[in-house]
Amino acid sequence: MTEFAAQASLAEVMASLQLGIGRLTARLDQDAERRRKLTLAIAPIVVDPIPMNISGGNGFLDVPQMLGPTMGRYWDVQSITCEGFSAGSVRGYINGVQIPTVSGFLAGRLIAPFPQDGVLTLGSGPPCMLRGTGKDRLVFAATGITLRTGFAQVMISLEGTQVLDEWIGEYLK
């Protein structure tokens, strides 16, 4: 091989190497941008304890602006805490309580039965995905409640993940 051919071959290798490095840099930039967008699109949610007033042993809590996502978002509820009672039960529903009717039950789906106070861990993904449609929310009903010493109300809190609509498919992968 002549010196000229060797220099030409080296130049081709260098050009190819520069092209490869350029592609790798572009890919790393794309990955960094994707991670940045995911960080903005997927975030933890923590709903601090909300009091449920108890009257005659019964109570009801329906606060859509605190117990459901805003428009354009999903909530993946991963744990619900219910505390402050020593007897009775609290039941958490998606979109309303179950109301007996002549043809069966109307409205919500039971998701969180609490025969005693404690923490219900649901994990990630369904079964408790709420969509920010203005309707999806958690609703709680209490019956036969005796409040625990030191509590004036039953307290409900939750934790999970909030996801922008356009990223829900990515989140559920």
Q: Is residue 89 part of a domain?
A: yes
Q: Is residue 13 part of a domain?
A: no
Domain, as residue range, for 106: 43-172
Q: Is residue 87 part of a domain?
A: yes
Residue 120 has pLDDT above 60, yes or no: yes
In CATH, what number is assigned to the domain containing residue 68? 2.60.120
pLDDT in tens, 27-79: 776 767 777 766 678 999 999 999 999 999 999 999 999 999 999 999 999 99
Residue 112 has pLDDT above 60, yes or no: yes
- Report which DSSP code applies to 116: S
Q: Is residue 25 part of a domain?
A: no
User: Can you tell me whether residue 56 is helix, strand or coil?
Assistant: coil
- Largest Cα–Cα distance in the chain? 100
Pairing of strands 154-164, 42-52: antiparallel
Residue 102 has pLDDT above 60, yes or no: no
**Separation CA 70–CA 94 (nearest Å):** 15
Amino acid at 13: V
The residues, any chain, with a CB within 8 Å of residue 100's CB and separated by 6 or more, are: 106
Domain count, the chain: 1
CA angle 165, 28, 11 (to 5 degrees): 150
Question: What confidence score (pLDDT) does residue 8 get?
Answer: 62
**Separation CA 92–CA 105 (nearest Å):** 15
Q: Is residue 14 part of a domain?
A: no
Q: Is residue 122 part of a domain?
A: yes
Residue 132 has pLDDT above 70, yes or no: yes
Percent of the chain, pLDDT > 90?
Answer: 53
Q: Is residue 16 part of a domain?
A: no
Residue 22 has pLDDT above 80, yes or no: no
Q: Report the predicted TM-score, pTM, of the whole model to 2 decimal places.
A: 0.77
The residues, any chain, with a CB within 8 Å of residue 154's CB and separated by 6 or more, are: 51, 52, 54, 59, 82, 83, 84, 85, 90, 117, 142, 145, 147
Q: Is residue 17 part of a domain?
A: no
